[in-house]
Amino acid sequence: MFITVCYVAPLAGAVLADGVLGRFRTIFYFCCVYAAGNLLLCSAASPPVNISPV
């Protein structure tokens, strides 16, 4: 399933860029999605703050 998404996602992006959004707007939107994913990963990896040592 993941491999299928990896192969289909560029095709879907190409259709969006050529027909709907335009090249630069598509790049901008996908960069925003990428940045949101990176922020989510960083926040999930940060250590908890309010835990006292044992």
Q: Which residues contact 27 (CB under 8 A, 6 or more apart)?
A: 17
Query: Does residue 16 sit within a domain?
Result: yes
What are 4-26's pLDDT values in tens digits? 999 998 998 899 899 988 889 99
What are 18-47's pLDDT values in tens digits? 998 888 999 999 999 999 999 999 988 887
Query: Does residue 27 sit within a domain?
Result: yes
Query: Does residue 3 sit within a domain?
Result: no
- Rounded to the nearest integer, the mean pLDDT of the chain is 89
Query: Does residue 47 sit within a domain?
Result: no
Alpha carbon distance 5, 18 (integer Å): 20
User: Rounded to two decimals, what is the model's pTM?
Assistant: 0.66
Note down the domain range covering 17: 8-42
Query: Does residue 21 sit within a domain?
Result: yes
Alpha carbon distance 15, 2 (integer Å): 20
Query: Does residue 12 sit within a domain?
Result: yes
What is the number of structural domains in the chain?
1
